[in-house]
Amino acid sequence: MNPILSLENLGYAYPTLKTDQPPEWVLRGVNLAVQEGEFLSIMGPTGVGKTTLCLALNGIVPQLTGGTIRGRVLVDGLDTCSTPVAELSRRVGVVFQDPETQIFNPSVEAEVAFGLENLGISRTEMCQRIDWALDRVSMRAFASSSPAHLSGGQKQRVAIASILVMRPRVLVLDEPTANLDPAGKAEVLDAVAELRRSGGTTVVFVSHESDFIAELSDRVVVLNEGVVALQGSPAEVFARTGELQTIGLQLPQVCEVANQLNRLEGTHFSFHRMDQARTALHSALQVEQ
């Protein structure tokens, strides 16, 4: 089965200030394939090129940014360098860190309807799709509210709904909780978890939320110095404790607990999710008794 997203030796450098200045490569040769329906999480230290990679998935890089690109990105078989961004946006929807940059309509309903209006969708179908999208992020009760009166977490959920309503094949979430307080972060992560449970959408989730990533991801990719440094299932990636710490990434809290117990008690625990920790510790206590 062909992947929905395919990155083949992707390298990219933003435009330089001087024409004779050599390019500074942000991405240096990323190879990655994402299958339809997969929940893929991407981690990496700040400045490693995660947002650049997200923008390359819908053609904004390089079509709107310029710069130098090598390799290629295919979305459902379409080359992102030659396919118009407007066409790619129907297949790949991107939600950015700051919802303020995406929301500009007077009401939540109008914000979610905006993309559909530009496509000429009928009023009946539009209403159905708006209700569906707002339900997916638990914001239907706020349909008539002004976005200006919403919390940060609520605004981000509206931004997600405004992309979901377009029914893209791939939803890209670029650090959607980065600028939120704990309450807002919890709201957004709950919405993303509901998307994961309902299935049907390919999700590329860029975040430092290692506990959340461990719980929900099918696969985890770690970017470092412009390339894929690690990839695999959450169990495989979070078992690479030393490499993750060297890169500067935080482990899930239950992994830290397992490592501490292994150091202090000489045990051999290996878990990355809360349910695994509960089962392993319960079994250990039963044996001791």
CB-based burial, 225-246: b 16+ in 10 Å, e otherwise = ebbbbbbeebeebbbbeeebee
* Residue 37 to residue 147: CA distance in whole angstroms: 31
Coil, strand or helix at 28: strand
Model pLDDT for residues 241-279, shown as the tens digit of each residue:
999 999 999 999 999 999 899 999 898 888 889 898 899
Q: Is the pLDDT of residue 288 over 70?
A: no
8: three-class secondary structure by DSSP: strand
User: pLDDT digit string (tens) for 208-242?
Assistant: 999 999 999 999 999 999 999 999 999 999 999 99
29 burial (CB, 10 Å; 0-12 / 13-18 / 19+) is middle
Residue 240, token pair as written in the block? 């690479």
Order of strands, sheet of 25-34, starting from the edge strand that comes earlier in the sequence: 25-34, 5-13, 68-75, 78-79
The Cα 25–Cα 61 span in angstroms is 13
Delineate the domains of the chain, giving CATH numbers in brackets: 5-251 (3.40.50.300)
Please write the tens of the pLDDT for every residue from 170-218: 999 999 998 899 999 999 999 999 988 888 889 999 999 999 999 999 9
Task: Report the alpha-carbon distance of residue 170 to residue 193 in Å, rounded.
Answer: 16
CA angle 246, 248, 253 (to 5 degrees): 105
Provide the pLDDT for residue 198.
Answer: 85
Mean pLDDT, the chain, whole residue set = 93
pLDDT band at residue 151 using 50, 70 and 90 as cut-offs: very high
Between CA 228 and CA 124 the distance in angstroms is 45
Note the pLDDT of residue 289: 59
3-state SS assignment for residue 245:
helix
CA separation for the pair 158, 197 (Å, rounded)? 19
Mean pLDDT, residues 274-285: 86
DSSP-derived secondary structure for 42-97 = EE--TTSSHHHHHHHTTTHHHHTT--EEEEEEEETTEETTTS-HHHHTTTEEEE-S
pLDDT at position 76 over 70: yes
**pLDDT more than 70, % of the chain:** 99
Distance CA(111)–CA(103), nearest Å, equals 7
In the chain, which ranges are continuous DSSP H helix?
50-56, 60-63, 85-88, 108-119, 123-136, 152-164, 182-198, 210-216, 234-238, 241-247, 253-265, 274-288
